[in-house]
A and B are shown apart, each in its own frame.
Chain A
Amino acid sequence: ELKVEQNPLFLSMQEGKNYTIYCNYSTTSDRLYWYRQDPGKSLESLFVLLSNGAVKQEGRLMASLDTKARLSTLHITAAVHDLSATYFCAGAQGGSEKLVFGKGMKLTVNP
């Protein structure tokens, strides 16, 4: 059974700083998703990573996937307040449609 763990679960950082958050998964997952959720809102897709070594970037966020280590990272560059949100990663169980989500990482970026 696939398990997805995120760390840290809470992060408070200053504007302008860089940071990396981690998503580990327990068994083979053939794709890895990152989503953002603002308080009281729905989920917004950020990245879909499909293969080992995949790297995708959008603005100040860059996601990567290492299937051998069963690890995905989300790197934040020069954080701004607008990045404050909860970030979820999700893996796909056994090549099926069954996504398993991590608990999410709540990011607060302080001025």
Chain B
Amino acid sequence: NAGVTQTPKFRILKIGQSMTLQCAQDMNHNYMYWYRQDPGMGLKLIYYSVGAGITDKGEVPNGYNVSRSTTEDFPLRLELAAPSQTSVYFCASSYDPGGRLHSNQPQHFGDGTRLSIL
């Protein structure tokens, strides 16, 4: 299993451009998440999904959009990139078979996408 795969690993964008960060997992996990990590800070949740077709906002959703059409993929879209969105973006997934509203299992993280907006 590859686990959680994020592409690209690095990207430089100009202000106002848009792009999609890709995230795929091959562990059949039902929960998926997007975080951003700014230097010297912890992670902040952008969006999450508890299953295909279901997404919800996290702590810092403004300027981002997500979709979850399949169990495996959870892309993050940046529209009109701004310098404040310069960050490292992590995708994660977890699994809980119990049908609970939340997972009691650890989240598995991808290697991250380092995004700079100039």
Interface residue tally for chain B (C-beta within 8 Å): 27
Residue of A nearest to B92 (CB): A43
A60 CB, nearest partner CB in chain B, Å: 19
- Is B44's CB within 8 Å of the partner chain A? yes
- Known A-B contacts A101-B42, A104-B42; A43 and B90 likewise in contact (beta carbons under 8 Å): yes
Given the complex of chains A and B, what is the CA–CA distance between A42 and B101 in angstroms? 26
Given the complex of chains A and B, what is the CA–CA distance between A97 and B90 in angstroms? 16
A98 touches B101 (CB 8 A): no
B41 touches A98 (CB 8 A): no
B106 touches A45 (CB 8 A): yes
B76 CB, nearest partner CB in chain A, Å: 16
- Is A80's CB within 8 Å of the partner chain B? no
Report the contact-size class of chain A (Cβ under 8 Å from the partner): 20 to 34
B50 touches A97 (CB 8 A): yes
- Is A25's CB within 8 Å of the partner chain B? no
Instruction: Give residues 39-93 of A contacting B (CB, 8 Å).
Output: 41-45, 48, 50, 88, 90, 92
A99 touches B45 (CB 8 A): yes
Can you list 25 residue pairs at the A/B interface with Cβ under 8 Å? A41-B111, A42-B111, A42-B112, A43-B43, A44-B109, A45-B106, A45-B107, A45-B108, A48-B104, A48-B105, A50-B104, A88-B43, A95-B101, A95-B102, A97-B48, A97-B50, A97-B101, A98-B48, A98-B59, A99-B45, A99-B107, A101-B42, A101-B43, A103-B40, A104-B41
Q: List the interface of chain A (C-beta within 8 A of B).
A: 4, 30-31, 33, 41-45, 48, 50, 88, 90, 92, 95-104
Q: List the interface of chain B (C-beta within 8 A of A).
A: 31, 33, 40-45, 48, 50, 56, 58-59, 90, 92, 101-112
